[in-house]
Amino acid sequence: MTNRKISPQVYARVGGILYLMIIIAGGLGEILIRAKLVVSGDAIATASNIMASQPLWRMGITGDIMMHVFDIPLMLVFYVLLKPVNKNLALLAILFNLIQTAVLVANKLNLLMPLFLLGNADYLKVFEPNQLSALAYLFVRAHDNGFGIGLIFFGFACLTYGYLIFRSGYFPRVLGILMTIAGLSYLANSFTLLLAPTYAGTVFPVLVLALIGELSLCLWLIVKGVDVPKWGQRAVESA
């Protein structure tokens, strides 16, 4: 029985669907759930909202975890599609992406901590209610910064993906440019959060450019996929 090779077009379509699911899951968790429950600067109101909507809060965490589960096969898709351009750089991009995913998965513990702190366990009675609310809010803020740290690695991954896509010949060069801009946007936002947090709110809107780049690539993979003959030619040349 002979092994049949899977067409790069199949990888492209599957990758596009996975990418779209990641974007949707990330948007639901951050915009539709946490943005509604977290009150900036108000620990007591935030704690009250979380405890009043525990299933929703947990749903947001679960959605984020699934988003990172989808990250893993998507990395494989990108490696298969881009290794004909440069195998080592394709692997480098995956390593950046993998570290980002590991950091963000570990960071979800910060979102579980408010549920532990506000759960009325006996061992927490040594703290005043306002202290517990403050600690819960502290972990929410820690999650925001942890997210920014993880996106530093994803920013470098996007820069590498952008270069490979631009040089591929079987993807439109504009997609490579858009992904490069996405990477620069992530890096600008994250390093501002770390080095000049007072300006983080001013720089944050630049992430719209990242969304445009990623969504463009995602939809291209779903609708158009990859130019299979040119991909095959590059694969032969690289071999």
Asked whether 191 and 152 are in contact (CB, 8 A), the reply is: yes
Integer Cα distance of 220 and 215 in angstroms: 8
Q: What is the pLDDT along the chain (239 residues), one digit of tens a residue?
A: 445 688 999 999 999 999 999 999 988 888 889 999 999 999 999 999 999 999 999 999 999 999 999 999 999 999 999 999 999 999 999 999 999 999 999 999 999 999 999 988 888 989 999 999 999 999 999 999 999 999 999 999 999 999 999 999 999 999 999 999 999 999 999 999 999 999 998 999 999 999 999 999 999 999 999 999 999 999 998 87
Token pair 């202290």 is found at: 131
Instruction: Give phi and psi for 85, each to the nearest 5.
Output: -75, -50
Which tokens sit at 205?
């809107």
- Single pTM value for the model: 0.92
Q: What are the pLDDT digits (tens) for 6-21?
A: 899 999 999 999 999 9
Q: What is the pLDDT of residue 222?
A: 97
For the chain, what is the HEC assignment?
A: CCCCCCCHHHHHHHHHHHHHHHHHHHHHHHHHHHHHHCCCCCHHHHHHHHHHCHHHHHHHHHHHHHHHHHHHHHHHHHHHHHCCCCHHHHHHHHHHHHHHHHHHHHHCHHHHHHHHHCCCCHHHCCCCHHHHHHHHHHHHHHHHHHHHHHHHHHHHHHHHHHHHHHHHCCCCHHHHHHHHHHHHHHHHHHHHHHHCHHHHHHHHHHHHHHHHHHHHHHHHHHHCCCCHHHHHHHHHHHC
